[in-house]
């Protein structure tokens, strides 16, 4: 297939595909899907071999967010039945992080709901970062705290943070349809503040919110221009009780095409499969490892994920290997650029925590939001819909959506 040969050649040279080529990837047929995966897999292996980086989310403060992001269970007015708690103490957060590290994670993503941190919040998170670094030698820490004010990224960097996550989520043209309490430009500004402070930038997207192919390509090209080191790809988890609860627009095949398109446009960047992989990729998750080189281990911010042990078995069975703490994630040219900017230990690449991965939950720094029905409750299935790529989507799988009830903010052991 001439298209795929062209995209592989460009990916190996780090050359940007045309928008038409990116759109063509999303428009490929199911008969061509394995060819698409194989082609993007060549680009992935060129820059990342068969390594899979594990990241672990710690939700420092859950729920009660004043922002109105439609995808998020922690949003203003949400009635989704998620865990709600105020800031974890540094020792509590460090203990939660240790479970992920013990499970094989090399990066811990510290996420807190809210518009953005106060200076007092930054001091609190700085103490948490210091505690984690002190107890876990060589572990990377990414913060995801919302919109940053002047000087806050520098404080986080001084405390030992390696990266900062803030997702663009969707195209600039449609951003106002998803969120009204802040702007797309606010998000871009925060990513640039993190980069200016010497933090490795992590910024990604959420697929499945009803966007078009053009919207998906727009946001991925905007990310390419912003040049983060890590791009988390979230697949919307349509929690019952959220404004987007009925948006079941994704099939496993659609998710694979999206990941392939991201890999072709961002060939040498850490592409992370974030929230929603279990819900939407389901038994096709191993194929996605040929496209992405990074995943979250275990649970997300407000939703449960696949068991950590199952994640590790999946990686091994698919012929991949977990990336060790001593291995630099990013290709040499990107790692050197970070080091030259004074990032030192960030050479491991950027993460994506929630907001990271941006939500490890449904794609966004928080998780999805809500109506009166708690997430994970049953809902009538819908008739199959047609997604933006022309595929017939599957019925709603509300049975795969479960609220997190263990780990941070509870007395139960985490799923790592």
User: To the nearest whole number, what is the mean pLDDT of the chain?
Assistant: 85
343 is catalytic: no
Does the structure show a pLDDT above 80 at 202?
yes
Phi then psi for 291, rounded to 5 degrees? -110, -45
Does the structure show a pLDDT above 60 at 347?
no
Half-sphere exposure of 302 (CA within 13 A, CB side): 41
Which one of 69, 343, 356, 369 is the catalytic residue? 69
Which one of 75, 157, 254, 272 is the catalytic residue? 272
What is the tally of helices (H) and strands (E) in the chain? Answer: 14, 11
50 is catalytic: no
16 versus 345: the higher-pLDDT residue is 16
Mean pLDDT of 147-151: 96
Among 46, 38, 51, CA closest to 322: 51
107 is catalytic: no
Among 244, 174, 234, CA closest to 354: 234
Mean pLDDT of 94-114: 93
282 is catalytic: no
How far is it between the farthest Cα atoms of the chain? 56
- pLDDT score of 271: 98
- Of the pLDDT bands very low, low, confident and very high (cuts 50, 70, 90), residue 368 is very low
Distances 21 to 8, 299, 359 between C-alpha atoms, Å = 12, 35, 29
266 is catalytic: no
* 148-152, 333-337, 395-399: segment of lowest average pLDDT: 395-399
Which one of 107, 142, 254, 266 is the catalytic residue? 142
Which one of 44, 75, 107, 109 is the catalytic residue? 109
275 versus 343: the higher-pLDDT residue is 275
d(CA 284, CA 277): 9
49 versus 61: the higher-pLDDT residue is 49
Which one of 75, 107, 144, 202 is the catalytic residue? 202
Domains parsed from the chain with CATH numbers: 2-400 (3.20.20.70)
- pLDDT score of 371: 30
Instruction: With residue 230 as reference, give the H or E element that holds it.
Output: strand 230-235
Among 230, 180, 186, CA closest to 205: 230
144 is catalytic: no
254 is catalytic: no
Phi then psi for 235, rounded to 5 degrees? -110, 120
- Of the pLDDT bands very low, low, confident and very high (cuts 50, 70, 90), residue 41 is very high
Which one of 65, 255, 266, 343 is the catalytic residue? 65
* 135-144, 173-182, 393-402: segment of lowest average pLDDT: 393-402
């Amino acid at each position: 297939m001439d298209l795929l040969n062209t995209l592989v050649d460009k990916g190996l040279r780090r050359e940007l595909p045309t928008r038409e080529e990116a759109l063509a990837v999303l428009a490929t047929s199911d008969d061509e899907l394995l060819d698409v995966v194989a082609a993007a897999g060549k680009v992935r292996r060129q820059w990342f071999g068969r390594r899979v980086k594990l990241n672990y989310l710690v939700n420092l403060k859950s729920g009660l967010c004043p922002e109105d992001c439609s995808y998020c269970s922690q949003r203003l007015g949400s009635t989704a039945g998620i865990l709600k708690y105020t800031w974890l103490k540094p020792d509590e957060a460090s203990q939660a992080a240790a479970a992920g590290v013990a499970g094989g994670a090399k990066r811990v993503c510290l996420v807190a709901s809210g518009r953005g941190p106060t200076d007092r919040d930054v001091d609190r998170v700085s103490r948490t970062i210091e505690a984690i670094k002190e107890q876990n030698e060589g572990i990377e820490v990414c913060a995801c705290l919302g919109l940053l004010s002047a000087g806050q990224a520098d404080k986080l960097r001084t405390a030992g943070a390696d990266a900062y996550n803030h997702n663009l989520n969707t195209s600039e043209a449609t951003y106002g349809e998803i969120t009204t309490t802040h702007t797309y430009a606010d998000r871009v500004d925060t990513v640039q503040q993190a980069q200016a402070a010497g933090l490795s930038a992590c910024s990604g997207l959420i697929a499945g919110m009803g966007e078009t192919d053009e919207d998906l390509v727009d946001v991925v090209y905007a990310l390419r221009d912003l040049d983060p080191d890590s791009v988390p790809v979230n697949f919307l988890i349509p929690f019952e009780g959220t404004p987007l609860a009925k948006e079941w627009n994704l099939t496993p095949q659609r998710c694979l095409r999206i990941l392939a398109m991201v890999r072709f446009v961002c060939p040498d960047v850490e592409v992370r499969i974030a929230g929603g992989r279990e819900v939407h990729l389901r038994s096709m998750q191993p194929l996605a490892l040929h496209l992405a080189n990074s995943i979250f281990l275990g649970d997300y911010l407000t939703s449960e994920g696949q068991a950590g042990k199952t994640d590790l078995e999946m990686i091994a069975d698919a012929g991949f290997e977990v990336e060790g703490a001593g291995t630099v994630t990013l290709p040499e040219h990107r790692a050197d650029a970070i080091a030259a900017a004074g990032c030192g230990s960030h050479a491991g690449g950027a993460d994506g925590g929630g907001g990271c991965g941006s939500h490890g939950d449904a794609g966004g720094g928080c998780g999805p939001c809500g109506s009166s029905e708690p997430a994970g409750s049953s809902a009538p299935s819908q008739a199959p819909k047609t997604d933006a790529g022309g595929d017939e989507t599957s019925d709603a799988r509300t049975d795969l959506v479960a609220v997190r009830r263990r780990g941070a903010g509870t007395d139960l052991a985490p799923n790592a």
